[in-house]
Amino acid sequence: MSAEGYDYRTRATGEVVIFHHGKLAKTLHGDDAQTFMRAVEGGDAQAAMATWVGNDGQVEHPGSHAESGGGMRNNGAAHGHQDFRRKTG
């Protein structure tokens, strides 16, 4: 599976801002920004950006909560059940 939908911009400060489908994905500073620019210039830019933002084709991403049951920060135990009704009229 190839990476796609990535774009990046450089700032006058030397920062590199990486976007995925138009949304901010990661901001790199200092040595990381320089290393990223060398990687992009020397190879597949889309793959390099995917690697730097942590989306290198893996199904589960490091730090995701999928293994804990749903990716939610909380189990909802602090909130009781509430029925929602559709507003009419």
pLDDT in tens, 22-54: 999 999 999 999 999 999 998 889 998 999 998
- Per-residue pLDDT at 84 exceeds 70: no
Q: What is the pLDDT of residue 55?
A: 74
Q: What is the pLDDT of residue 13?
A: 93
Q: Which of 32-41, 60-69, 71-80 has the lowest mean pLDDT?
A: 60-69
Mean pLDDT (the chain, rounded): 75
Residue 65: C-alpha distances to residues 38, 75, 76 (Å) = 32, 12, 15
What does DSSP say about strands 6-10 and 16-20: parallel, antiparallel, or unpaired? Answer: antiparallel
